[in-house]
Amino acid sequence: MKKLSLSFGLILAFVFASVAQNTTSAAPAAAGAGVEFEKDVHDFGTMKQYGDASTEFKFTNTGTAPLIISNAKGSCGCTVPSWPKEPIMPGETAVIKVKYDSKRVGPINKSVTISSNATNEPTKVIRIKGMIEAAPKEETMPVKEAPVGAPVEK
């Protein structure tokens, strides 16, 4: 009988602990800034060399305090982000612009790491990808030769 009582007591304690844990996890998030991006990845697809390889990542402050982006850093010098320096108020949207130097030929797979005061994602990584194809070579114009006996410029 003691074993049965003890087992029942342990099961009852476990059930109460599970209910209490589920109740606390369902509570609203702590006050503060929050960030939610419309997309995490932008695919340029296949594009020509020297083409416009710039895009915008739209995001919203989903929190209750102003969102401040302190930094955005590209994974290399060929990926340059620009971001709003002023606080983004709760409910407002803004964009982070990312420009890739498309003179390089081949696949693109770059990231931008964003640092902010967001409580849900203080560090967020967004990505760009695609393929750059070589631009067609321009036909060279024939060089006109100077007539024989013409003065040579120095």
145 or 45: which carries more pLDDT confidence? 45
Q: Are 128 and 79 in contact (CB under 8 A)?
A: yes
Q: What is the pLDDT of residue 20?
A: 46
Buried b (16+ CB within 10 A) or exposed e, 58-73: ebbbbbebebbbeebe
Q: Which of 4-8, 23-27, 30-34, 39-43 has the highest mean pLDDT?
A: 39-43
Q: What is the mean pLDDT of residues 1-19?
A: 45
Cβ neighbours, 10 Å, residue 141: 6
Instruction: For the chain, list the domains and their CATH numbers.
Output: 35-133 (2.60.40.10)
**93-100 vs 106-116, strand pairing mode:** unpaired
Q: Are 100 and 77 in contact (CB under 8 A)?
A: no
Q: What is the mean pLDDT of residues 87-97?
A: 97
Residue that the structure tokens 């709760």 belong to: 90
* 41-50, 103-112, 120-129, 134-143: least confident range: 134-143
How far, in Å, CA of 65 to CA of 30, rounded? 11
pTM value? 0.69
Q: Which of the 8 DSSP states describes residue 19?
A: H
Q: Are 100 and 78 in contact (CB under 8 A)?
A: yes
User: With bands split at pLDDT 50, 70 and 90, how would you rate the model's confidence at 144?
Assistant: low
Mean pLDDT of the chain: 82
| Helix or strand run (H / E) with residue 6 | helix 2-25
Structure tokens at 153: 């410029």
CA–CA distance from 49 to each of 4, 56, 131 (Å)? 76, 20, 9
93 or 16: which carries more pLDDT confidence? 93
